[in-house]
Structure formats: structure tokens, C-alpha cells
């Protein structure tokens, strides 16, 4: 299995809802990432997990809460989002270590906040 799987593919949520995005990989990668991508813009890093521990939080608002329950799974919990949070949320994984051989990206969850 050489893929990163993200669910759901599409999500519409109200500003008072609580929802979660899920990401799964079975490549033995020990580093996992959340990125946010707006239309026609590059992906922007949100969080980095290394060996199931949060390594980098790029000053993301607390309404986004990541979780890494095990080495294969990465979740992003969403609560009280704003319409400007509407975007494509990408999960990625890579080998952990002193250098990287590139990230493998999922196809993303397209989130619309209404």
C-alpha cells in the first residue's frame, strides 16, 4: 500500500458543528502532516507529527485540534470554524529521520464552512 487515504472527501459543516477529518497510511511512515490549501495557492503547513508526537504547530488557531492515535492514523478535529476556513485539507506522510525522501500526499478533504 503506497497511498495516504483521507476521509471524507467532501464535508460541509456549520459554524457551530464539531467534525473530524481522518487520514490513514500503511507505508510505515513515522512522520505525518496536515496542510491547508486554498484554490490556486500552495499548500500551507499546519501541523507536523513525528513518532506520534506533535513536533510543529504553525500557529494554527485552537479551533483546529490534531490527534495522532497511532503510527498509521492522523485526525484533525474541527470546532467552531469560520467560513474563511473553507479549503482543501491535505494529509501527508514521510519517513522520519535526518532527511526526507519526499512526502506522499492524500487526495484531501474539501471542507466548506457555512
Least distance (Å) from another protein to the CB of residue 19?
21
Question: Whole-angstrom Cα distance, residue 40 to residue 69?
Answer: 32
**H or E element in which residue 47 lies:** strand 44-50
Q: Do strands 64-70 and 10-13 pair parallel, antiparallel, or not at all (unpaired)?
A: unpaired
Phi and psi dihedrals of 13, rounded to 5?
A: -140, 150
Binding mask 43-62 for another protein (x = CB under 8 A): xxx--x-x----xx------
**Between 45 and 80, CB nearer to another protein:** 45
**Between 66 and 106, CB nearer to another protein:** 106
Least distance (Å) from another protein to the CB of residue 62?
20
Residues that bind another protein (CB under 8 A): 31, 33, 40-45, 48, 50, 55-56, 90, 92, 99-108
Amino acid at each position: 500500500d503506497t497511498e495516504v487515504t483521507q476521509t471524507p472527501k467532501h464535508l460541509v459543516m456549520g459554524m457551530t458543528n464539531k467534525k473530524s477529518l481522518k487520514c490513514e497510511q500503511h507505508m510505515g511512515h513515522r512522520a505525518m502532516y496536515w496542510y491547508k490549501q486554498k484554490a490556486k495557492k500552495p499548500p500551507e503547513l499546519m501541523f507536523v507529527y513525528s513518532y506520534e508526537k506533535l513536533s510543529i504547530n504553525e500557529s494554527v488557531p485552537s479551533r483546529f485540534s490534531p490527534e495522532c492515535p497511532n503510527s498509521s492514523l492522523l485526525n484533525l478535529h474541527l470546532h467552531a470554524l469560520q467560513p474563511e476556513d473553507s479549503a482543501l485539507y491535505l494529509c501527508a506522510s514521510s519517513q522520519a529521520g535526518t532527511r526526507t525522501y519526499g512526502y506522499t500526499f492524500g487526495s484531501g478533504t474539501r471542507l466548506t464552512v457555512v
